[in-house]
């Protein structure tokens, strides 16, 4: 049974909600748009971006076409700040850094990371110990490709816990959560942060202590990154 959607922020032009893990984007009966309409009373809502079905966390829905176009353009132009949380039981090849490369569809819905640099997926991360055999990862994706974070962590030999598609150890959920979202609206920065609420490993005191130790994710010592060449606009 899916957890209920929670409204985190309400504005005349948009709603920011917490999506539960397992909820699809476009399912006409049980998707995120249908669920938010039911609790908000809105008859028309527009998705500004997407999350994988297995991913929980912060997502923005616009209440009118103008706001949808504005926020979607910020995503396409890489102007939105996004931070995610993940848990893995495999130590990554390095504790922090940047993963970049093109992505290609593979079999069974998988994607793989390539060495080519034509239409880049760029993912930055820091990892740290939560408990023996368990590591937390805070992720800043600079682009928004399908399965980007899941593929990046797989490439580091640390697939996300519960992510069976990419070789993660079986668990009660896929431990990927959209933690914080920040964009501009009417000249003001809108920032919404929501800790994960589902999953036995997200609920431990050890995870809470690790999360508290991170502080403001925007102020972490993220490495500088310059895109080598203009790339095709993102759609997430």
Domains, in order of start, for the chain: 6-219 (3.30.2350.10)
pLDDT tens for the chain, 236 residues long, are 678 899 999 999 999 999 999 999 888 788 999 999 999 999 999 999 999 999 999 999 999 999 999 999 999 999 999 999 999 999 999 999 999 999 999 888 899 999 998 899 999 999 999 999 999 999 999 999 999 999 999 999 999 999 999 999 999 999 999 999 999 999 999 999 999 999 999 999 999 999 999 999 999 999 999 987 554 555 45
CA distance 175 to 85: 8
* Cα 95–chain centre separation: 19
Q: What is the dihedral of CA 31, 103, 183, 140, to 10 degrees?
A: 110
Query: Does residue 174 contact residue 160 with C-beta atoms inside 8 Å?
Result: yes
pLDDT score recorded for residue 231: 47
Full 3-state SS string of the chain:
CCCCCEEEEECCCEEEEEECCCCCCCCCCCCHHHHHHHHHCCCCCEECCCCCCCCEEEEEEECCHHHHHHHHHHHHCCCCEEEEEEEECCCCCCCEEEEEECEEECHHHCEEECCCCCCCEEEEEEEEEEECCEEEEEEEECCCCCCHHHHHHHHCCCCCCCCHHHCCCCCCCCCEEEEEEEEEECCEEEEEECCCCCCCCCCCHHHHHHHHHHCCHHHCCCCCCCCCCCCCCCCC
Whose tokens are 């640099």? That residue is: 117
pLDDT score recorded for residue 103: 95
User: Kind of pairing, strands 46-47 and 56-62?
Assistant: antiparallel
Give one word for 74, left, alpha or beta, with left for phi > 0 and alpha for psi -120 to 50.
alpha
Closest among 3, 38, 37 to 20, alpha carbons compared? 3
Task: Check if 52 is active-site.
Answer: yes
Distances (CA, A) of 232 to 71, 121, 151: 17, 11, 19
Closest among 184, 187, 87 to 139, alpha carbons compared? 87
Candidate list 52, 89, 163, 234, residue with the active-site label: 52
């Amino acid at each position: 049974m899916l957890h209920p959607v929670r409204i985190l922020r309400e504005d005349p032009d948009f709603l920011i909600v917490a999506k539960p893990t397992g909820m699809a984007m476009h399912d006409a009966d049980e998707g995120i748009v249908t669920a938010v309409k039911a609790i908000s009373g809105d008859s028309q809502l527009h998705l500004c971006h997407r999350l994988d079905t297995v991913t929980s966390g912060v997502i923005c829905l616009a209440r009118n076409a103008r706001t949808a176009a504005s926020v979607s353009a910020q995503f396409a132009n890489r102007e939105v700040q996004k931070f995610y949380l993940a848990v893995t039981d495999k130590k990554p090849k390095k504790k922090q850094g940047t993963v970049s490369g093109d992505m290609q569809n593979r079999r069974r819905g998988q994607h793989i990371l390539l060495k080519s640099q034509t239409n880049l997926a760029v993912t930055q991360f820091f990892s740290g110990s939560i408990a023996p055999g368990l590591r937390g990862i805070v992720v800043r994706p600079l682009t928004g490709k399908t399965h980007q974070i899941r593929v990046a962590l797989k490439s580091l030999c640390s697939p996300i816990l519960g992510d069976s598609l990419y070789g993660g150890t079986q668990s009660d959920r896929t431990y990927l959560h959209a933690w914080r979202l920040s964009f501009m609206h009417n000249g003001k920065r809108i920032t919404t942060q929501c800790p994960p609420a589902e999953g036995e490993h997200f609920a431990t005191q050890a995870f809470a202590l690790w999360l508290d130790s991170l502080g403001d994710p925007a102020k972490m010592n993220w490495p500088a990154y310059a895109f080598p060449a203009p790339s095709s606009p993102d759609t997430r």
